[in-house]
Amino acid sequence: METVTITMKNAPALYLEADTISPDAFAGKSAAQIAELPVFEGNVPSTLGKYFDVKGNAGATAADTKIVVKGDAQKVKYIGFKMTAGEVVIEGPADQYVGAWMKGGKLTVKGDVGAFAATAMKGGEMVIEGNAGNYLGAAYRGDWRGMSGGRILVMGNAGSDIGMYMLGGEIVVNGDVDVHALTHAEGGKLTVKGNAKSKLGGQMVEGTIIVFGSIEVMMPGFKPNGEVELEVDGAKAKFAHFIGDMGERHKKKKGVVVYGNLYKKI
């Protein structure tokens, strides 16, 4: 795998839309060609090389390409946009839409990310070593198709509305989550190692939520369904089981009604 290192040299005054920072866009290009890739500062077109020093040539394909982003990328959006393969490592924080519509490969952020990271993610792996903003793994505004595949690990906390309209895939948050996690979910799995605030799983019709800590306010649409033993990360524990959201219509599979499943550690 060939490595391309881009280092911030001129921080944008406005936010930089840089959906070309992806293995797919870099593949088959020299450092000079990569520096000429288009970006936008606000609505003004520019080139990647105006903001970043570029070192190294990309691999022949996305799968053969690794990108390392150095410097402060807090104002850089869309890193890893629609990536299908390869690897991206952001050595610090990044702004909104990191890994949006990601289909494959691995994306690691060694800091915090803004809102809408992994929007409508379809595959691949994302690791956020800091905190995640609102709408992680959620649907794009106005759409009903959220994350459908892949895996996200957040080592810190996550904001509100994560996994909104989730269809599949997995989100693991080692810390706490804010309100409205997995609203409208029709599949997928969310594991919260910390605490969850209110409105967890509202209008959920399918999928799984596992919470190890407290749930500030339980949604009234979830019905107690006994206790179960689950194994998570190789360790077994007892959980209270709830099904819901009972206020929604639920389809049948092989004659059995399918509900969303919420598990709260006892």
Taking residues 188-198, report their average pLDDT: 97
At 84 the pLDDT is 99
At 68 the pLDDT is 99
At 50 the pLDDT is 98
At 218 the pLDDT is 94
Taking residues 254-259, report their average pLDDT: 93
Task: Render pLDDT for 150-184 as a digit per residue (tens, 0 to 9).
Answer: 999 999 999 999 999 999 999 999 999 999 999 99
At 136 the pLDDT is 99
Confidence of residue 71 (pLDDT cuts 50, 70, 90): very high
Task: Render pLDDT for 132-151 as a digit per residue (tens, 0 to 9).
Answer: 999 999 999 999 999 999 99
Enter the tokens of residue 130.
Answer: 């800091």
Confidence of residue 64 (pLDDT cuts 50, 70, 90): very high
Question: pTM of the entire structure?
Answer: 0.97
Taking residues 239-244, report their average pLDDT: 98
At 160 the pLDDT is 98
Taking residues 15-42, report their average pLDDT: 99
Average pLDDT over the chain, rounded to an integer = 98
Taking residues 190-211, report their average pLDDT: 97
At 263 the pLDDT is 99
User: Nearest to residue 227, comparing CAs of 242, 209, 212, 244?
Assistant: 242
At 58 the pLDDT is 99
Between CA 88 and CA 106 the distance in angstroms is 6
Taking residues 234-242, report their average pLDDT: 97
